[in-house]
Amino acid sequence: MNDLFELNQAVFIQEEQIKTDSFKVAQIFGKRHDNVIRAIENLKFECDPDFYLLNFEEVIVKYQNGRGGLQEAPAYSLTKDGFTLLAMGFTGKAALEFKVAYIKAFNSMEVLLHNQKYINQGIHVGSKVQLKSGSPEFTVNELIHDEEGYLKSVEIVCWNKNRMHKELLSISSIMPVQEFHHDILKEFWTIVLPRLETLNHSRQLNTIALNLKQLLAEVDGLPTEKVLSELLVHSKKPYPLYVQHGYVVKSKILEKAIRCWIFQYQIQTLQGQAGGAV
């Protein structure tokens, strides 16, 4: 039977799932591989067919033979649930020790996979993020993990009236700020800015309030509402700066309350780019 440290190599990530394989199980528990294969195939007749298909998969593995070369052999890949069911049949004090260590290895890899998902998205200390529902940009100040090591929340910092504010946000509620192609935003504002006299519902200087449904009804050549919703939350200098959406304003155009997307823009620059339309 092999040492516990070899479990670090026995559990791996495959297609965003945590798995091991029958060959590694045989090595760790000191069993013949053909006996492990037989035990797995016997489970096919003892457990729910859907469970079996989800947790056991026929594969080909490469292993080092006695001559120092690599050799291929049929095997099974197992999920954590598949391994747990199989290992129920392994008895004895030493087997129990290895079962516990194996399950811990699965759990550690699950933590790694969970955290790596967000790191690969670009969420790290210093990165720019925003709420998935839409918000201004925040800066990640700290990554916060739970007792098991799972990344669960982030501390973000933002500035409001020259004062720094800190807040905890759930990791599932945020997304990294994507660098949208400037040409798309440029095209949007090139079309919209000259027509603000009939599109801007705001009564406040340096503020733009747009209603997307009106915008799409009156302006040709714009993307769909879904695309606009994903795009406009990233609008920033040199274009109007996104502030919030779903905000109710008393329209200067319609003389009634209407939900709008709010942007801030310097009126001098706005007039220059819009040809003095505002």
Same domain for 116 and 14: yes
CA dist 156 → 29, 140, 230, 241 (Å): 46, 5, 22, 20
Task: Round the average pLDDT of the chain to a whole number and report it.
Answer: 86
pLDDT of 271 reads 42
Instruction: Say whether pLDDT at 133 is over 80.
Output: no
Q: Which of 99, 120, 141 is the last residue of a domain?
A: 120
Stated as kind and residue range, the H or E segment containing 42 is: helix 33-43
Instruction: Work out the average pLDDT over 91-97.
Output: 86
Share of the chain above pLDDT 90, in %: 55
DSSP code of residue 213: H
**Same-domain pairing of 133 and 231:** no
The pTM of the full predicted model, rounded to 2 decimals, is 0.60
Do the strands 70-79 and 56-64 form a parallel or antiparallel pair, or are they unpaired? antiparallel
Q: Band the pLDDT of 228: cuts 50, 70, 90.
A: confident
Of the residues 95, 120, 145, the one at which a domain ends: 120
Q: Higher confidence at residue 129 or residue 2? A: 129
The pLDDT-based confidence of 270 (bands split at 50, 70, 90) is very low
Same domain, 131 and 63: no
* Domain membership of residue 204 as a residue range: 182-274
pLDDT tens digit sequence for 168-214: 999 999 988 765 556 778 889 999 999 999 999 998 888 999 999 99
User: Same structural domain for residues 149 and 62?
Assistant: no
Asked whether 152 and 163 are in contact (CB, 8 A), the reply is: no
Claim to verify: residue 31 and residue 129 sit in the same structural domain: no
Q: Could you tell me if 116 and 130 lie in one domain?
A: no
Q: Tokens at residue 109, please? A: 């890899």
Residues 199 and 150 placed together within one structural domain of the fold: no
pLDDT tens by residue, 41-52 = 999 999 999 999
